Amino acid sequence: DVLEAGLKCIQGKPIARPVSLLRGRAHLRQEARQVLQYGAALVVLAQDETGPALSVAAKVDLCRQAYQVLTEEVGYPPEDIIFDPNLVFLCGDPSSHVWNFIEALAALKEKFPICKTAACLSDLSASLQDVPEVRRAMQSVFLYHAIDRGLDMAIINCSNLPLYTAIPTPLLTACEDVIFSRYPDATSRLLQYAGTASPLS
């Protein structure tokens, strides 16, 4: 087993790969027990057999269900549980999903204050990979607001990320329009900005 082999080689406290309810409660218990014996922290994704949770309520509920399994059935320490509400973005998905993720962070922090939260930003701006300036700005703006709402850690290449306060106003506005879901076409407007590299009207 690759996971177990890796855990045996790590000094200090590792963080294990994400688990979820995707394959049911029994499989979650099995994975958690395997990881627990090595004292590793565990990332919990908000998804089940139907796929990733999209609404705030669904994200929080799936994390709650997983928390119940981990703490009550496995005996996992709450301080070693890291919730990832599952960031879904672009590629046809409504921009409201980004804000739902951020709102879920705040709700999880209120409900489970001992647990940590995390985000993987690889999919946040995948459609912007050919426009690195815009992609980095989007990531920076997201982190600015997510940290404020309770994000503890993120998987991201932080080299060359611009300061929130240093992002040009038109680009900042376009990014925040997406994150706050201000307009139905906010995502397409950001993609337009990325394609023209000029301020949006």
Least confidently predicted of 53-57, 97-101, 128-132 = 128-132
Closest by Cα among 97, 81, 111 to 179? 97
Closest by Cα among 22, 182, 34 to 98? 182
Which of the four pLDDT bands, split at 50, 70 and 90, describes residue 190?
confident
Which of the four pLDDT bands, split at 50, 70 and 90, describes residue 184?
confident
**pLDDT recorded at residue 141:** 96
**pLDDT recorded at residue 188:** 83
Contact 81, 63 (CB under 8 A): no
Average of per-residue pLDDT across 171-193: 88
Give the containing element (helix H, strand E) for 28.
helix 25-36
**pLDDT recorded at residue 91:** 47
- 33 phi, psi to nearest 5 deg: -65, -35
Which tokens is 181 given? Answer: 């879901």
